Structure 1
């Protein structure tokens, strides 16, 4: 009797599956109908935090993590479900980054945030793309991170964007017509910034000779007196410094000693306490582009972010750009999942990220271009009396 009942149950189950398959002609449809129900009904949405939480880049990874965690505290749910942050320490190492990226895929995270360091993001990107899991870099500025991967986006603008902003500021706000460039010949980052600066500066001045001098140097160079004399003779009113911060400090020091009056222009790499300490009076008056300014009300979310940050870290605390961008990366992920209406369909989430327009973040409004790079405002700061002072915000009118 028991055997007969067992056989009847088996037959009934087979009939049910057969009937279902008549409307699900592929295994994929069958899987979506029967096998993914449990995942969709899960009361937790997993977001991966792919950062160097140890190793040489730990300091920067921790800053991005701080912004992500702050946003998570304010917005701990999506689609009515609790958001769980799944941490993956890539240890500032490319090989480890590949390993922990695969682990995040295995843990079925819906979106990945990070990593600090473009090489680390590139190491994990191929695994995220293969699994169709969208990723949002926080401060990785190398164009290859997004350009070679349709599933990678970023919260910061690319390195070349800063060159455009600096050229616009120099011509339209400072009113200069002649510029010079110091460029590290072995640095791809320097090449990208200097090229976009040069192109935009020439276009805005309508003078193909407005870049009066381009100095290519190597980091081992100690004496820049000859190059500085050439720049001085060229009549350049501003000097774009495209290279490592240590070189920038040394060149500005020697320029000060030589009586050079041209204003030095740089990138967000200058926005560190270490740069101020090592540069001292030699970097006074320098101007640079960066991602965020705590004194500027970029969007309504800026105030939300600053209030939460100061409640947690002290009323006089000033958040770094990395923290604000980490905050924004989390918000972008939550927004895309909400608009997709699912945390399980990576393609749907990716599609919603691609269609992001004028999204208000702590560090400005974000609109993604065809590469997943944000079209957004660029903050210009000046070093005045040993402090970073907001000078201007360049809006992306060049797009």
Structure 2
């Protein structure tokens, strides 16, 4: 009898573990929950969790609940790679929702590709990310489109012909956007009068801005992250540069105005969605997000939500939970009604969708226009 009891005590936890495993679908996520650009990761993570909570409340996928395993990449490429390795090898996830930064996705996605595990990035816009392999997807538009959106806006809406570029030379995202803007603006007959650089973590930009001022531009394109952009805006105004600053979705953070204060007001950036939208999908998402987190969702939250929803829809359609089956269904995504627009994944596994141009208005974001591919 003692032996029987001991055997039962050993077996029961294993049976419970197997039952739990059989009743869940484990999905991995890494994000910058700490580090210099943590607002990006925290927002994306909130969007992902909201989406999966909704799905679980509605019964899950294939009768199974989603179990989300989240790891913090600390804003570091090597940590993103390490997190992806752990999620796949230790947590046995069926897919990975990658972080928001292109550099980190370029470090992490090759690991998922090699293991045959689908990888979906909410916001990595650098074109090279999905070139890593056929298991790598994204739900955001890419830098060439985002750069051309602002080149068109500068040329046709702001009516400016001479622009300076101030790029983060160590950031794949910033470099990609700057190159795309430069090429498109020149095609439109515009002139790039200066192309100077800085690095993330810099706090003094007066030398670069003084050089730019000497070239008499009519606008400055600053495709960086909010952490530096706010300081750049302040120092530009201190040097008497009252011309418009333009940028990309890396500006989108509540911290932008906190850092840049009034100096950032009136400037423009491209983004994935606007909270001013009257689309029912958007208004419902904002309502649910506010109810859960007591804050207004930014674009990174919306992209995290869309990434989770698109992945869940692909898993629901797949014949099994194998990486190949999920990958094949992700590749079929067409006209998905996302919060950030109607999303179709093309042959390169990139999202084909519209972009919006936003103007900073204090802590608010004023919608200006929509640009379609």
- State the TM bucket, normalised to the shorter chain: 0.7 to 0.9
Q: Is the 8 A contact 1:357 1:366 kept in 2?
A: yes
Aligned residues: 345
Q: 2:223 and 2:111 mapped to 1: Cα distance?
A: 33
Change (3 A) 1:67 1:251: closer
Shift in alpha-carbon separation, 1:244–1:135, aligned structure 2, 3 A: closer
The structure that has the greater radius of gyration is: 1
Q: Secondary structure at the match of 2:215?
A: helix
Q: Deviations over 1:234-274 (max 9, x none)?
A: xx3x3322446566455544554565553221112222233
User: Per the alignment, do residues 341 and 292 of structure 1 end up closer, same or farther by CA in structure 2, a change over 3 Å counting?
Assistant: same
Q: Could you say what secondary structure the match of 2:107 adopts?
A: helix
Shift of 1:326: 0.9
What secondary structure is seen at the aligned counterpart in 2 of 1:280?
helix
* Residues 43, 297 of structure 2: 8 Å contact kept: no
Distance 2:349 2:83 in 1: 23
Q: Which residue of 2 aligns with 1:375?
A: 352
Residues 250 and 48 of structure 1, relative CA distance in 2, 3 Å threshold:
closer
Contact 1:181 1:194 in 2 (8 A): no
Query: Structure 2 CA distance, aligned partners of 1:118 and 1:395?
Result: 23
Give yes or no for the alignment of 1:349 onto 2:326.
Answer: yes
Q: 2:370 corresponds to which residue?
A: 393
Structure 2 residue 337 is the aligned partner of structure 1 residue 360: yes
Q: In structure 2, how many angstroms separate the alpha carbons of the residues matched to 1:375 and 1:363?
A: 11
State the TM-score, normalized to the length of structure 2.
Answer: 0.81
How far apart in 1 are the matches of 2:347 and 2:354? 18
* SS in structure 2 of the partner of residue 104 of structure 1: helix
Alignment CA distance shift 1:358-1:173 (3 Å): farther
Spell out the pairing of 1:1-399 with structure 2 (5 A cutoff): 42-54=22-34, 58-76=38-56, 77-106=60-89, 107-174=91-158, 176-184=159-167, 186-187=169-170, 188-203=172-187, 205=188, 207=189, 210-218=190-198, 222-223=206-207, 224-232=209-217, 236=218, 238-243=219-224, 245=226, 248-249=229-230, 252-253=233-234, 255-256=236-237, 260=241, 262-297=243-278, 299-314=279-294, 317-342=295-320, 344-385=321-362, 387-396=364-373
Q: Deviations over 1:130-161 (max 9, x none)?
A: 22110111222333322212211112223333
Deviates more, 1:327-336 or 1:247-256: 247-256
Query: Could you say if the C-alpha distance between residues 131 and 55 of structure 1 is closer, same or farther in structure 2, counting changes exceeding 3 Å?
Result: same
Question: What does residue 10 of structure 2 align with?
Answer: none
CA RMSD, aligned part only?
2.9
Confirm or deny: 8 A CA contact 2:264 2:360 kept in the other structure.
Answer: yes
Call closer, same or farther: CA 1:247–1:68 in 2, change over 3 Å.
Answer: closer
Say if 1:276 and 1:283, in contact at 8 Å, map to a contact too.
yes
Separation in 1 of the partners of 2:51 and 2:227? 34
Q: Specify every segment of 5 or more residues in structure 2 that has no aligned partner in the other structure, as ranges.
A: 1-17
Q: How far has the Cα of 1:333 moved from its partner?
A: 0.5
Say if 2:249 and 2:269, in contact at 8 Å, map to a contact too: yes
What is the CA distance between 1:109 and its match in structure 2? 1.9
Distance change >3 Å, CA 221–CA 351, structure 1 → 2: same
**Using the alignment, how far apart are the partners of 1:218 and 1:97 within structure 2?**
24
Assess if the C-alpha contact under 8 Å between 1:300 and 1:360 holds in 2. no
Residue 125 to residue 93, structure 1, CA distance change in 2 (3 Å) = same
**How far off its partner does 1:58 sit?**
4.6
Query: Are the aligned partners of 2:148 and 2:180 in contact in 1 as well (CA < 8 Å)?
Result: yes
Query: Judging changes above 3 Å, is the alpha-carbon distance between structure 1 residues 354 and 254 closer, same or farther for their aligned structure 2 residues?
Result: same
- TM-score, normalised via structure 1 length: 0.76
User: Quick check: 2:261–2:362 contact (8 Å CA) kept in 1?
Assistant: no
The residue aligned with 1:32 is: none
